[in-house]
Structure 1
Amino acid sequence: MSIYSKELEVAELAVQRASILTKKVFHEKAKGTVSKDDKSPVTIGDFGAQALIIQAIKKNFPNDEVVGEEEASTLRDDHKLRDQIWALVEGTKLADAEAEKVLGGPVESVEAMLDAIDAGNSAGGSRGRIWALDPIDGTKGFLRGGQYAVCLALMVDGDVKVGVLGCPNLPIDDSAPLAADAGVDQTDAEGKGVLFSAVSGQGAVSRPLGTAGLGKGQPIHMKPVNDITQATFCESVEAGHSSHGDQHAIALKLRISKPSVRMDSQAKYGSIARGAGDIYLRLPTSATYQEKIWDHAAGDLIVREAGGQVTDTLGRRLDFSKGRTLAENKGVVAAPIAVHDHVLEAVKEVLSKK
């Protein structure tokens, strides 16, 4: 068995099981949405997926910490919402007894569900084993019927060692090109649903996102970019997440004429890792904003293991050891190693003029 093989298996199965739950909610018109203090939306799917994943982590690795996006105080006060989520959590399992056994079985009670959600309260940091979890990355995309991802990564002493992304609305086929409308009006119909994963030093893999045990995986690699003018850019849908104007200026500098593909979540990392897209930029919209580690940890590792380079807009590696945010980084530039420096130079030139 290779190093981190158990962690990888638990993470892949946990994300797969949580994705079954999120798909149920995705098909509902009413998703039990509430607003957090920062005005961002959270759904019953976010809470349920976080409970399922943290329960699996704690059953298998009881001493590990988790940095999770959600917490359960709202649910402890709102019993109707709590009961909606419990019905989802109680009714979600893998159609494979051995896979369920690996995860430690079902969540045992409502109180255990709430405790699991609240166990995502780690402060993060540079010491020990800490998981970074985003139960639904791209909640706005999830709500509007676009792309979203269930994201989980293990950091050991601040370094990402295992990363998993469940992307229910991306095509299984790694060779499928990234269409301009990939971020809107999506479904998880037949032929959709992919699970990306990577272990540090062992490459990156994709496999169909199933409902039982793990499907057959195959290695993925970033596509060589021989002519950067023909590259495909990925960027966030929300202008508040990444500066669309700066992205356009960078594309002009690189003489890229194709319109960028706008899609939510770390599905962008997975898409470029398998060569469906080429470059992912997340450009700062505020001098004070700090990216959350759960929004990048899994995707960062998967892209690097697929032959890419991921830095911030100043060329620094993303530093996941500073707590719950990427406090020492500004923005993200992800591209194949061979062209990353060229892209980064264009990014620096455009941003230096602001």
Structure 2
Amino acid sequence: MTTLYLRELEIAQLAVQRAAQLTKRVFHETAKGTVSKDDASPVTIGDFGAQALIIAALRHNFPADAVVAEEEAAPLRADPALRDRIWELVRSTKLEDVGAEGLLGGGVRDVDAMLEVIDRGGSKGGRVGRVWAIDPIDGTKGFLRGGQYAVCLGLLVDGDVKVGVLGCPNLPVDDAAPLTADIGANQTDDEGRGVLFSAVVGQGATSRPLGPGALKEGKKIAMKAVTDMASASFCESVEAGHSNQSDSAQIAQKLGITKPSVRMDSQAKYGSIARGAGDIYLRLPTSKTYQEKIWDHAAGDLIVREAGGQVTDTTGARLDFGVGRTLANNKGVVAAPAAVHGQVIKAVREVLKL
């Protein structure tokens, strides 16, 4: 087995685990189930704080690597109160809480360094070199409602995803736990919840419990073989604005799928189908002009493919992460076990009249 990217994998897992601990703290101390989204909302605080922690770890270990991330520090420079609130959160998130001291570096030394670290996420991406793609909180509304969200980190090398890590604090640890209708809400991190998914190209995909301290022992995961499409399950976004749910229903009907879709936020959907809790993930275009962001798909794309699945757009083309910060060459996402992916794509193309 190749040993390429094992150091990157370890650092990425520890960085995501540390950032996930920060987001959990933000939810329990601040969110209280609210779904407001103003500039000082819990998700804003968690986004900036988690991004600062992850980029600080990457800068310490891979200083020459570029970073593509969602946030920039300009709003914090304009709002000292918010800046100081986030700094206090970052400062008090201890390295030793995730067994990372000495591996992730000394953290962020002061508030100015925090702002500078956040701004390192402005790379334009592209087909050349090493680029890390970060979504510090993927699934804003899922996070706020106590449902599903993910801390996401992927390493692209010359436009291809080589390492992917997803921290999903509210998913069941049990890989065999099926997707349920209530998975999208009121699933806060009780005992038995919190999963860290990871994959390295050519080395398969793994899940392990997500928590404080050193990395827990992982185990290999694989997509479930779909032998009867009528018994298959598919998941899609909670928000109708993120995926065309009426088209999804028609595709499911055409495939003979009888179960209702499971709606959940974030790349937790990728992790769920990768370990066989679900079978198919559909994200269908709602706009001709919208372009998916690479940080919303890079880690999940690799994890599903390494678990025995296939991930393409609605035309059957692989996702192209080398264009820049968006998937400008793709429309929508279809993820399914490799053996039935062609069948799913055929139904997608017929319904969407491609």
Q: Where on the TM-score scale, by shorter chain, does this alignment land: which range?
A: over 0.9
Residue 185 of structure 1: CA displacement? Answer: 1.2
What whole-Å deviation, never above 9, does each CA across 1:73-129 have from its counterpart, x for those lacking one? 000010111111011101112435852210012211101111111100000000000
Distance 1:169 1:298 in 2: 18
Residue 65 of structure 1: CA displacement? Answer: 0.4
Contact 2:99 2:215 in 1 (8 A): no
Which secondary structure state, in structure 1, belongs to the residue aligned with residue 55 of structure 2? helix
Distance 1:162 1:228 in 2: 31
In the other structure, the counterpart of 1:133 is 134
Residue 33 of structure 1: CA displacement? Answer: 4.6
Q: Which moved more, 1:1-10 or 1:226-235?
A: 1-10
Contact 1:162 1:197 in 2 (8 A): yes
Distance 2:97 2:254 in 1: 52
Contact 1:137 1:266 in 2 (8 A): yes
What whole-Å deviation, never above 9, does each CA across 1:203-224 have from its counterpart, x for those lacking one? 0000010211100000000000
Residue 29 of structure 1: CA displacement? Answer: 4.1
Contact 1:94 1:212 in 2 (8 A): no
Residue 27 of structure 1: CA displacement? Answer: 1.5
> Residue 207 and residue 98 in structure 1: after superposition, are their counterparts in 2 closer, same or farther (change >3 A)?
closer
Residue identity opposite 2:57 in structure 1 = A
Residue 2 of structure 1: CA displacement? Answer: 1.0
Distance 1:99 1:247 in 2: 42
In the other structure, the counterpart of 1:250 is 251
In the other structure, the counterpart of 1:34 is 38
Residue 189 of structure 1: CA displacement? Answer: 1.1
Contact 1:319 1:329 in 2 (8 A): yes
> Residue 275 and residue 208 in structure 1: after superposition, are their counterparts in 2 closer, same or farther (change >3 A)?
same
> Residue 85 and residue 96 in structure 1: after superposition, are their counterparts in 2 closer, same or farther (change >3 A)?
closer
User: What is the aligned-residue identity percentage?
Assistant: 71
Contact 2:181 2:263 in 1 (8 A): yes
| Structure 2 residues without counterparts, runs of 5 or longer | none
Distance 1:236 1:338 in 2: 24
Residue 41 of structure 1: CA displacement? Answer: 9.4
Where do residues 306-317 of structure 1 align in structure 2 (5 Å cutoff)? 306-317=307-318
Q: Which moved more, 1:91-100 or 1:5-14?
A: 91-100
Which secondary structure state, in structure 2, belongs to the residue aligned with residue 280 of structure 1? strand
In the other structure, the counterpart of 2:220 is 219
Residue identity opposite 1:105 in structure 2 = G
Which secondary structure state, in structure 1, belongs to the residue aligned with residue 101 of structure 2? helix
Q: Which moved more, 1:172-181 or 1:263-272?
A: 172-181
What whole-Å deviation, never above 9, does each CA across 1:291-338 have from its counterpart, x for those lacking one? 000000000000000000000000000000000000000000000001
| Structure 1 residues without counterparts, runs of 5 or longer | none
Distance 1:313 1:341 in 2: 11
Contact 2:235 2:280 in 1 (8 A): yes
**For this pair of structures, how many residues does the alignment match?**
350
Distance 1:28 1:351 in 2: 44
In the other structure, the counterpart of 2:64 is 63
Q: Which moved more, 1:80-89 or 1:160-169?
A: 80-89
Contact 1:41 1:140 in 2 (8 A): no
Contact 1:94 1:213 in 2 (8 A): no
What whole-Å deviation, never above 9, does each CA across 1:121-149 have from its counterpart, x for those lacking one? 00000000000000000011111221000
In the other structure, the counterpart of 2:305 is 304
Distance 1:110 1:315 in 2: 46
In the other structure, the counterpart of 1:48 is 49
Which secondary structure state, in structure 1, belongs to the residue aligned with residue 214 of structure 2? coil
Contact 1:164 1:298 in 2 (8 A): yes
Contact 2:14 2:98 in 1 (8 A): no
Distance 1:44 1:137 in 2: 14
Distance 1:97 1:204 in 2: 21
Residue 34 of structure 1: CA displacement? Answer: 3.3
Give TM-score scaled by structure 2 length.
0.96
Structure 2 residue 229 is matched with structure 1 residue 228 = yes
Distance 1:94 1:147 in 2: 25
Distance 2:341 2:219 in 1: 25
Distance 2:101 2:16 in 1: 12
